[in-house]
Amino acid sequence: MKSTQPLIDTHLHLASEQFNEDRRAVIERAIEAGIAAMVEIGYDLASSHAAVALANAHPAIFAVVGIQPNHLHDLPSDWIDQIRKLAAHPKVVAIGEIGLDYYWMKSPPSAQEEAFRAQLALAAELGLPVVIHSREAMPETIAVLRDAARGPGVMHSFSGDWTAAQECLELGFYLSFSGPLTFPKSAALHEVVQQAPLERLLIETDSPYLSPHPHRGQRNEPSRLVYIAQKLADLRGLSLAELGPQLWQNTLRAFPRMAETLG
């Protein structure tokens, strides 16, 4: 499947070992499918360094750096300074993915919130947006954001209902949708896409995870962003040709540093 409109995959993990054998081919397939830019997301120090390296090596790739709540153990004492230094790279467009995860609960809620708030403060200091990870912790995530941050920012792979979506929108955040949007039983997500302002919607693959229908259960890759874009277009009663330019502008507003390169 190919898009005639250039699209941006706002969240993926190309540095994953699942791409070690064919990373270059995956990037080439994405570009051939109409994916004009990709945002490589860090989740710990190693992946944040790798994200910057990928962005440095590929014109179409940008980076986001940060510590995800499932990767808080064994951090060095200077971890926030390391993220600050990485964020100085001109192709780093946000701090993330950061937030709360009460599904895996690999760190206690207090430790998760402390790291979350520290990185929200760093993003504010640097004038960068944030990319938010929230799993089984949407009310708690929104409470922290209401207290410590306002947009711009992105709710990664949004999985909440319309009530949660409204709260995120009121805080100035964009809602980003991934493979589950294409699943027939995702009625709550379909409602959010139909109700939310079109100018606040983004799309992502979260590759290598969350592959869309009809590739569910397979390793995901950025070329499959087109399936997500098409589903979003269908839900809004638009053609992909009509939707594509809107998604492009939404992404550049969400990540102003990208706009400096992509216009």
148 CB burial (10 A radius; 0-12, 13-18, 19+): middle
Contact 36, 4 (CB under 8 A): no
| φ and ψ at residue 8, rounded to 5 degrees | -125, 125
Homologous superfamily of domain range 7-262: Metal-dependent hydrolases (3.20.20.140)
Residue-wise pLDDT tens digits, 160-219: 999 999 999 999 999 999 999 999 999 999 999 999 999 999 999 999 999 999 999 999
Residue-wise pLDDT tens digits, 36-47: 999 999 999 999
Residue-wise pLDDT tens digits, 40-88: 999 999 999 999 999 999 999 999 999 999 999 989 999 999 999 999 9
| φ and ψ at residue 250, rounded to 5 degrees | -60, -45
Residue ranges of the domains in the chain? 7-262
Amino acid in position 169: L
**What does the angle CA 138 – CA 141 – CA 143 come to, to the nearest 5 degrees?**
110
Question: Whole-number mean pLDDT of the chain?
Answer: 96
Q: Is the pTM of this model over 0.95?
A: yes
